[in-house]
Amino acid sequence: MSVALFPIALEHTTMSQEPSNEADRAPSIGELTPPDRTLMGPGPSDVNPRVLRAMSTPLVGHLDPSFVEIMDEVQELLRYTFRTDNRWTIPVSGTGSAAMEAAIGNVVEPGDTMLVPTNGYFGGRMASMARRAGGDVVEVSAPWGEPLDPDDVADVLAEHDPDVFGFVHAETSTGVLQPDVAELTAAAHDHDALVIADTVTSLGGVELRVDEWDVDVAYSGPQKCLSCPPGASPLTLSDEAMEKVLAREEAPRSWYLDLSLLEGYWGDERAYHHTAPVTNVYALREALRLVAEEGIEQRWARHERLAGALKAGVEGMGLEMNAPEEYWLPSLNAVRVPEGIDDGAVCDALLERYDLEVAGGLGDLDGEIFRIGCMGYSARPQNVVYTVTALGDVLESMGADVDPGAGVTAVRENLD
C-alpha cells in the first residue's frame, strides 16, 4: 500500500514547485548599477569616498556601548559645525524634512502664533508644518529672490507678537542667503519669540554661527554641504527652546519626532526609543570629521572661492544670476534661464550627454532659473570647470546666446 502511494506523493511535490500564477513568480532583478553622476544640483551632493567606506563598516546595535560612544562623538562634531554649545544637539533619524518637522512640531504648540517668511518655497513648508502642529501662521512678505528686511520683520513682530519666528537662512529655491541674521533674532527676542532657522543648505558650507547669532533652534540636512547620504539630519536647540518643549501641556502630534522622548535616547539616559539608522550615523560622523579636519572657517572660504569661480563662469558666458551679489548664496547658485530656452530640456541633456545633474526652479521660479549646487565634496575645481563647460555646450547647441569659451576662461582665471 505504501509503495503504491509513493509515486503520487512525489508527483504532488513536483507540481507544488511550479508557480500557480504570475504573482507567485520571484522577481528577476539584476545587480544594482546606478549611473555615475556628477551631482551639481540642489542636493544631494557628491559623497566623499571616506563617507562611503564608513557606511560599509560592520553594523552594531543602536544601544551597543561602542555605538553610544559614536553618538557622543557625533554630537560633539555637530556642535562644532553649528558653532554652538547647545546640549540638545542631535541627528534626527530621517531626512532634513524630519529635522524640520521635529523643530517646528515640538516648539509650536496648538494656539501658538508662528511668523514665517514668504520669500521662497521652504518658507511655505514652514507655514504648512506650523499649521499641522496647531499653530496660527502669520507671514512676513518679501518677493521670491530677495531676503527678509529686518525692518519689515520688526513691524510684523510688533503687530502680531508671535510665539515663534522662523526664517530660511539659505533658500534653496531662490539662491538667496539671508543677511542680518543677528538683527532678525534680536527683533524676535524683543517680543519673547523663539527663533527657528532653516540651515539645510548652509550648514557646513556658508558662515553660520548659532550661538553668536542667538538662534534658538536650527535644523539641517546631511546631503548638501556635508556631502553625506540622507538619513540622519542635524538639529540643535537652546536650553530655552528645550524648556518650552519639555513644558508642553499637550504632547507633540508625532510620537516618532517627540523631542521629549528622543531626549531619553540622545540624552544622558541612552534609553531605547527607536532603532537608530546606525549606518547613516556612521556616515554623518565621517562627514563631520571631514569638516573638523578642514576647519569650519576654511570650509566656508572654500565654498565661497569655488562657487565664485562657478558664478564667474556662468556670467562670463553671458548668463545672469538670480540673486544680487550682496545676498548671493555660494552653496546654491540660481542662474536665470536664457530667453527661449526650456530649462527642463537643458537639465535632461546634461544628464544624457554628461551624466551631470543640475535642476530647474521651484514654485514662483519654475522655468525661470537653473539651480546649480556647489556643496561639500562637489565643491571641487574639476567639478566647477566640468559644469560650466557642459552647460555652455548644451545651451549653445540649443541656440542660446552664450559664449562657452569665455565662461570656461573666466572659471580658470578665478581658480588660479
The pLDDT tens digits for 291-316 are 999 999 999 999 999 999 999 999 99
Q: Is the pLDDT of residue 9 over 60?
A: no
Q: Is the pLDDT of residue 361 over 60?
A: yes
- Rounded to an integer, the average pLDDT of 317-335 is 97
pLDDT of the residue at 23: 78
Better-predicted residue by pLDDT, 23 or 73: 73
pLDDT of the residue at 39: 98
The least confident of 21-30, 282-291, 300-309 is 21-30
For the chain, the domains span 49-294, 296-415
pLDDT in tens, 380-402: 999 999 999 999 999 999 999 99
pLDDT of the residue at 17: 61
- Rounded to an integer, the average pLDDT of 111-115 is 98
pLDDT in tens, 178-237: 999 999 999 999 999 999 999 999 999 999 999 999 999 999 999 999 999 999 999 999
pLDDT in tens, 340-350: 999 999 999 99
The Cα-based distances of 164 to 111, 112, 134, 167, 303 in angstroms read 11, 8, 13, 10, 31
Whole-prediction pTM value? 0.93
CB-CB contact of 332 with 311 (8 Å):
no
pLDDT of the residue at 416: 87
- Rounded to an integer, the average pLDDT of 83-89 is 98
Q: Contacts from 323-327 at CB under 8 Å and sequence distance 24+?
A: 323/145, 323/174, 323/175, 323/176, 323/177, 326/179, 327/146, 327/147, 327/176, 327/177, 327/178, 327/179
Q: Is the pLDDT of residue 163 over 60?
A: yes
Q: What is the topology classification, in CATH, of domain 49-294?
A: Aspartate Aminotransferase; domain 2 (3.40.640)
pLDDT of the residue at 253: 95
Instruction: Give residue 16's pLDDT band: very low, low, confident or very high (50, 70, 90).
Output: low
Q: Is the pLDDT of residue 15 over 60?
A: no
- Please name which of 125, 172, 117 lies closest in space to residue 147, comparing C-alpha atoms: 117
C-alpha cell, 185: 533674532
- Rounded to an integer, the average pLDDT of 113-130 is 97
- Rounded to an integer, the average pLDDT of 329-338 is 98
Domains 49-294 and 296-415 share a fold: no
Residues 6+ away with beta carbon under 8 Å from 7: none
Half-sphere exposure of 234 (CA within 13 A, CB side): 38
Q: Is the pLDDT of residue 18 over 80?
A: no
Q: Is the pLDDT of residue 153 over 50?
A: yes
- Please name which of 117, 114, 93, 118 lies closest in space to residue 105, comparing C-alpha atoms: 114
CB-CB contact of 337 with 322 (8 Å):
no
Residues 6+ away with beta carbon under 8 Å from 159: none
- Please name which of 316, 369, 307 lies closest in space to residue 45, comparing C-alpha atoms: 307
pLDDT of the residue at 20: 67
pLDDT of the residue at 112: 98
Q: Is the pLDDT of residue 363 over 70?
A: yes
CB-CB contact of 237 with 246 (8 Å):
no
Q: Is the pLDDT of residue 22 over 80?
A: no
The least confident of 16-30, 80-94, 204-218, 330-344 is 16-30
C-alpha cell, 352: 544624457
pLDDT of the residue at 24: 86
Angle at 389 between CA 385 and CA 394, to 5 degrees: 150
| Residue 327: burial class (beta carbons within 10 Å; 0-12, 13-18, 19+) | middle
**Could you give the percent of the chain with pLDDT greater than 90?**
93
CB-CB contact of 286 with 51 (8 Å):
yes
Identity of the residue numbered 355: D
Q: Is the pLDDT of residue 11 over 50?
A: no
296-415 CATH: 3.90.1150.10
pLDDT of the residue at 21: 77
The Cα-based distances of 85 to 26, 54, 215 in angstroms read 53, 26, 12
